[in-house]
């Protein structure tokens, strides 16, 4: 029997036809499909602008640069995230601070955030930017983080790599109602994919312009922005340092085609999660929390083992499931556990909730095209491993 992965893309005939049409067109690199994809995502989210890039990591870097993060600045993010949420600030020369989580949903704990902000204010070490994650697709408490940003004077970048299609207070994540910029990832394990790809949404024209210059070497063709007055028809000007973070049209049409099925993907994930919720009833685990005020995009279905009721370690549970062909995973190895971040002085004792959640977590396979039979195999294997 084939192994069941924890996440997998769904590529349809329409997706393949769309990519084929681009391959036969005049544009392979950034052409007409990129702005069309940007408009589609911006409209869906209810944001004014969207800037596509070749990954969410690039988009996080561009977002930090647009908010003028530089050497001497401090950026805070969650201890429970993928390394890219923190690395982006280091690319700009800033230093990183980490915040502990709410153990139930894995998101930044606003109480811990407020306490750390008060301490930081006393010693004059407040962050310039805070990067909350919508962990596993469950929107974090942005309204509270936003009100703290007013009190303590920081900017907000939402890392919504997990959360396209999620809703919070009746708005799509990405509307930037409570933030400066929102970042999406279109990596194949995420909700929709463009192969590799990412996007930033914002309601601020200046930030959108900065990010689109940043993704293309810092070059402008707008004479208003140039320092040199020129009427030469070939003239363009690099006015600051940027990168080549452009998305190609090949990737953009794939992402655009996948956007047509976003609602279908979210409801498929909800149906699968409901089936897990039902069938895992009596096992010694904690099921994922769903906040009724939000719509989670259900990027990940993470159970937490009640280790005091199980005779095995988490490592053995994961190993046995992997041997049975069930592609379980763990999200995430907390940032402070990576040697690179340990060398900056982070220590797990300061993040008790992140640490406890990490020790108990197992991510089960969940993706739109997970069949009922495969899901049943996951449930049966898990039941065997946990009760034998
Ligand atoms: C996947 C992911 C990223 C990086 O996305 P890429 O598109 O692969 O660069 C960043 N942050 C989080 C939370 C992610 O899950």
Q: What is the pLDDT along the chain (388 residues), one digit of tens a residue?
A: 889 999 999 999 999 999 999 999 998 888 899 999 999 999 999 999 999 999 999 999 999 999 999 999 999 999 999 999 999 999 999 999 999 999 999 999 999 999 999 999 999 999 999 999 999 999 999 999 999 999 999 999 999 999 999 999 999 999 999 999 999 999 999 999 999 999 999 999 999 999 999 999 999 999 999 999 988 989 999 999 999 999 999 999 999 999 999 999 999 999 999 999 999 988 999 999 888 889 999 999 999 999 999 999 999 999 999 999 999 999 999 999 999 999 999 999 999 999 999 999 999 999 999 999 999 999 999 999 999 7
CB of 162 shorter than 6 A to ligand 1: yes
CB of 161 shorter than 6 A to ligand 1: yes
Could you count the other beta carbons within 10 Å of the beta carbon of residue 315? 9
How many angstroms separate the alpha carbon of residue 225 from the centre of ligand 1? 32
C-alpha to C-alpha distance for 293 and 309, rounded to whole angstroms: 32
Could you count the other beta carbons within 10 Å of the beta carbon of residue 192? 27
CB of 84 shorter than 6 A to ligand 1: yes
Query: Which residue puts its alpha carbon closest to atom 2 of ligand 1?
Result: 161
How many angstroms separate the alpha carbon of residue 333 from the centre of ligand 1? 14
From the number of C-beta atoms within 10 Å of its C-beta (0-12, 13-18, 19+), residue 224 rates as exposed
Which residues does 231 contact at the CB level (< 8 Å), separation at least 6? none
- Cβ pair 300, 162 in contact under 8 A: yes
CB of 82 shorter than 6 A to ligand 1: yes
Tell which atom from ligand 1 comes closest to the C-alpha of 81.
13
- Cβ pair 129, 156 in contact under 8 A: yes
Q: For residue 190, give both structure tokens.
A: 């995420």
* pTM of the entire predicted model: 0.97
How many angstroms separate the alpha carbon of residue 113 from the centre of ligand 1? 22
CB of 159 shorter than 6 A to ligand 1: yes
Q: For residue 100, give both structure tokens.
A: 């502990």
CB of 133 shorter than 6 A to ligand 1: yes
Angle CA 192–29–182, to nearest 5: 40
Tell which atom from ligand 1 comes closest to the C-alpha of 84.
10
């Amino acid at each position: 029997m084939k192994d069941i992965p924890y996440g997998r893309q769904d590529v349809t005939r329409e997706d393949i036809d769309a990519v084929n049409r681009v391959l036969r067109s005049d544009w392979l690199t950034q052409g007409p499909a990129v702005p069309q994809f940007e408009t589609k995502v911006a409209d869906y989210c209810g944001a004014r602008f969207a800037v596509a890039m070749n990954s969410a990591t690039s988009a996080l870097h561009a977002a930090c640069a647009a908010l003028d993060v530089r050497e001497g600045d401090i950026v805070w993010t969650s201890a429970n995230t993928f390394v890219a949420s923190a690395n982006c600030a280091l690319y700009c020369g800033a230093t990183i601070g980490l915040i502990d989580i709410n153990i139930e949903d894995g998101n930044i704990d606003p109480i811990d955030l407020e306490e750390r902000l008060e301490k930081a204010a006393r010693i004059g070490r407040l962050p310039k930017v805070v990067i909350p994650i919508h962990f596993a697709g469950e929107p974090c408490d942005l309204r509270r983080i936003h009100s703290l940003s007013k009190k303590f004077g920081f900017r907000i970048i939402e890392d919504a790599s997990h959360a396209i299609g999620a809703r919070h207070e009746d708005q799509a994540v990405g509307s930037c109602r409570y933030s400066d910029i929102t970042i999406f990832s279109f990596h194949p394990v995420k909700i929709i994919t463009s192969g590799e790809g990412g996007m930033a949404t914002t309601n601020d024209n200046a930030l959108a312009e900065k990010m689109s210059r940043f993704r293309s070497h810092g070059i402008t063709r707008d004479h208003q922005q140039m320092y040199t007055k020129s009427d030469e028809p070939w003239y363009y000007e690099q006015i600051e340092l940027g990168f080549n973070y452009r998305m190609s049209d090949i990737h953009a049409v794939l992402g655009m085609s996948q956007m047509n099925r976003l609602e279908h993907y979210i409801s498929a994930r909800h149906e699968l999660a409901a089936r897990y919720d039902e069938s895992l009833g009596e096992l010694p685990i904690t099921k994922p929390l769903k906040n009724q005020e939000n719509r989670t995009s259900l990027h990940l279905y993470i159970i937490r083992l009640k280790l005091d009721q199980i005779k095995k370690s988490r490592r053995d549970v994961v190993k046995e499931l992997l041997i049975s062909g069930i592609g379980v995973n763990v999200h995430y190895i907390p940032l402070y556990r990576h040697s690179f971040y340990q060398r900056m002085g982070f220590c797990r004792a300061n993040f008790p909730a992140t640490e406890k959640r990490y020790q108990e977590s197992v991510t089960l396979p969940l993706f739109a095209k997970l069949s009922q039979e495969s899901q049943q195999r996951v449930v049966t294997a898990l039941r065997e491993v946990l009760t034998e």
